Amino acid sequence: MNKLILIPLFLLGGISVIFPEQLGVVLYKIVLICIALWLSYWADRLIFPYARPDKCNHPEWAELRRAILMSSVILAVATGL
């Protein structure tokens, strides 16, 4: 996973060189997506406190539920951008 951070940093550097005026917008969108990710994770934990993937009988269903909830929140925030 550490190697994967290099690709976005490289692209962010390219944006800052080619379109420096857009750097603030890109960083703003990144922050909004990160906030949506964090909020959706904690929303899942608050809505389903006893159905965490590590404590369920069927962890694959809990993981799928969490993935659907998180992706829907992230998509909702991203479409609002």
In the predicted structure, residue 8 carries a pLDDT above the cut 90: no
Number of domains the chain is built from: 1
Q: Say if CB 25 and CB 15 are below 8 A apart.
A: no
Q: Give the containing element (helix H, strand E) for 74.
A: helix 59-79
**What is this structure's pTM?**
0.76
CA–CA gap between residue 69 and residue 57 (Å, rounded): 20
Chain-centre distance for alpha carbon 27: 14
pLDDT at 47: 92
Q: Is residue 46 part of a domain?
A: yes
Supply the range of the domain harboring residue 53: 22-79
Please write the tens of the pLDDT for every residue from 17-76. Answer: 999 999 999 889 889 999 999 999 999 999 988 888 888 888 899 999 999 999 999 999
User: What is the identity of the amino acid at 57?
Assistant: N
Q: Is residue 30 part of a domain?
A: yes
In the predicted structure, residue 81 carries a pLDDT above the cut 70: no
Q: Is residue 3 part of a domain?
A: no
Q: Is residue 69 part of a domain?
A: yes
CA–CA gap between residue 81 and residue 75 (Å, rounded): 10
